[in-house]
A and B are shown apart, each in its own frame.
Chain A
Amino acid sequence: MMNSVVEREDIQGRINEIGQADILVGVPSYNNARSIGHVVRAVQAGLAKYFPDRKTVLVNSDGGSKDGTMDVVHTTTIDDFHSILLSHRVESFSKIAIPYHGIPGKGSAFRTIFEIAQALNVKACAVVDSDLRSITPEWIELLITPVMRDGYDYVAPLYHRHKYDGTITNSIVYPLTRALYGKNVRQPIGGDFGFSGKLAGFYLTKDVWETDVARYGIDIWMTTTAIANDFRVCQAFLGAKIHDAKDPGADLSAMLYQVVGATFDLMEEYQSMWKRVSANEAVPVFGFTYEVGLEPVGVNIQRMIDKFTLGAQELAGVWRSILPAETLRFLKRLAHAAPEKFRMPDEIWVDTIYNFALAAHRNALNKEHLLKSLTPLYIGRTASFVIEAWDSSGPEVEEKIDTLCGVYEKFKPSFADRWT
Chain B
Amino acid sequence: MNFLQRIIIEPFESCYEKFLTFMPNLLTSLALLIIGIVLGGVLRIVFLKIFRAVKLDRAAKRVGLFEMLARGGIKDSFSAFVARLVGWFVVFTFAVVAVQTLKIPTVENLLDRFFLYLPNVFTAVVILLFGYLFGNFFGRAALIASVNAGLRQSGMVGRFVKITIFILSVTMAMEQLGIGRDTVLIAFAIIFGGIVLALAIAFGLGGKDVARNYLKRNISSDDKEDDGTRDDIDPL
A contact set with B: CB distance below 8 Å = 161, 164-169, 189, 191, 216, 219, 243, 245-246, 248, 251-253, 255-256, 259, 297-300, 303-304, 306-307, 310-311, 313-315, 318, 321, 362-366, 368-369, 372-373, 375-376, 382
Contact = CB atoms under 8 A, between A and B. Distances in A.
Contact of A298 (B59, B148, B231, B236): B231
Contact of A167 (B58, B145, B154, B235): B235
Contacts of B235: 166-168, 252, 255-256
Interface of B: 58-59, 61-62, 137, 140-141, 143-145, 147-148, 150-152, 154-155, 158, 226, 228-236
Given A300-B229, A310-B150, A366-B137, A318 B234 contact: no
Contact of B230 (A168, A300, A311): A300
Given A253-B148, A307-B150, A372-B148, A382 B62 contact: no
Given A252-B148, A298-B228, A321-B61, 20 more contacts: A166-B234, A166-B236, A252-B235, A253-B148, A256-B235, A297-B232, A297-B234, A298-B231, A300-B228, A300-B230, A303-B150, A307-B147, A310-B147, A310-B151, A314-B158, A318-B143, A363-B59, A365-B62, A368-B141, A376-B148
Nearest to A298: B232
B155 A314 contact: yes
Contact of A300 (B61, B148, B151, B231): B231
A276 B145 CA distance: 38
A75 to B, nearest CB: 26
Contacts of A307: 147-148, 150
A314 B235 CA distance: 24
A310 B143 contact: no
B230 A372 contact: no
Contacts of A297: 232-234
Contact of B144 (A167, A219, A315): A315
Contacts of A375: 144, 147-148
By CB atoms of chain B within 10 A, which of A161, A243, A313, A366 has the most?
A: A366
Given A310-B147, A366-B62, A255 B152 contact: no
Given A298-B228, A362-B58, A366-B62, A314 B143 contact: yes
Given A363-B62, A366-B62, A245 B144 contact: no
25 contacts: A161-B234, A165-B234, A167-B233, A251-B148, A253-B145, A255-B236, A297-B232, A300-B231, A304-B231, A306-B150, A310-B147, A311-B147, A314-B154, A314-B155, A315-B144, A315-B147, A318-B143, A321-B61, A363-B59, A363-B62, A366-B137, A369-B141, A372-B144, A375-B147, A376-B148
